[in-house]
Homo-oligomer: A and B are copies of this chain.
Amino acid sequence: MRTWLTALAILAVAAAPAFGGPLRAGAEAVRDRALKDSTAYDYVESLSVEVGPRLAGSEAAARARDWALAKLTALGFVNVHVEPFPITAWLRGPEAAEIVAPHPQKLAIIGLGGSVPTAPEGVEGEIALFHTYADLLAAPPGSLTGKIAVVTQPMPRAQDGSGYGALNPARRQGPSEAARRGAVAYLVRSLATGVSREPHTGAMNYAADAPKIPAAALSVIDAILIDHLAERGQPIRIRLKLASTTEPASAWTVAGEIRGTEHPEQIVQVGGHLDSWDPGTGSIDDGAGMAIAVATAKLAGTQNPPKRTIRVALFGAEEMDFAREAFAAAHMAEAPRIVVIGESDIGADAAWSVQIPAGSLKTPEMQDYAATVAPLAVYVSPEPATGSGDDVANLIKAGVPAVAVRQDASRYFDWHHSSEDTLDKIDPTQLSQAVATWASFVYIVANSDIDFRALAAAAAPAKPGP
Contacts and interface: CB of A to CB of B under 8 A. Distances in A.
Interface in A92-120: 103-106, 108
A420 B197 contact: yes
Interface string A416-429: 00111011100000
Given A105-B52, A281-B105, A197 B419 contact: yes
Nearest to A231: B49
Q: Kindly report how many copies of this chain are found in the complex they form together.
A: 2
Given A197-B419, A198-B198, A225 B105 contact: no
A50 interface: yes
A51 interface: yes
A12 to B, nearest CB: 53
A276 B224 CA distance: 20
A418 B420 CA distance: 15
A223 to B, nearest CB: 11
A229 B51 CA distance: 11
A53 interface: yes
Interface in A211-227: 221, 224-225
Task: Name the interface size band of chain A.
Answer: 20 to 34
Contacts of A48: 225, 228
A250 interface: no
A49 B424 contact: no
A118 to B, nearest CB: 19
A52 to B, nearest CB: 4
Contacts of A106: 53
A145 interface: no
A41 to B, nearest CB: 12
Given A197-B198, A198-B198, A228-B45, A108 B52 contact: no
A423 B197 contact: no
Contact of A49 (B51, B103, B197, B198): B103
B420 A103 contact: no
A329 to B, nearest CB: 33
Contacts of A423: 224-225, 228
Given A49-B229, A228-B49, A229-B49, A196 B105 contact: no
B105 A221 contact: no
A424 B419 CA distance: 20
Interface string A46-72: 001111110000001000000000000
B420 A225 contact: no
Nearest to A222: B422
A208 B224 CA distance: 45
A424 B198 contact: no
A224 B49 CA distance: 10
A161 B419 CA distance: 27
**Most chain B CB within a 10 A radius of its CB, from A49, A232, A424:** A49
A52 B98 CA distance: 12
A197 B422 contact: yes
Contacts of A398: none
Contacts of A225: 48-49, 281, 422-423
Contacts of A60: 104
Contacts of A281: 105, 225
Nearest to A280: B197
A103 B424 CA distance: 18
Given A108-B419, A221-B424, A224-B424, A50 B103 contact: yes
A336 B425 CA distance: 55
A25 interface: no
Nearest to A420: B197
The 9 tightest CB contacts between A and B, nearest first, are: A52-B105, A197-B419, A49-B228, A50-B103, A197-B420, A195-B424, A221-B422, A49-B229, A224-B424
17 contacts: A45-B228, A49-B103, A49-B228, A50-B103, A51-B103, A52-B103, A108-B419, A195-B424, A197-B418, A197-B422, A198-B198, A221-B424, A224-B422, A224-B424, A225-B281, A225-B422, A228-B423
Interface of A: 45, 48-53, 60, 103-106, 108, 195-198, 221, 224-225, 228-229, 232, 280-281, 418-420, 422-424
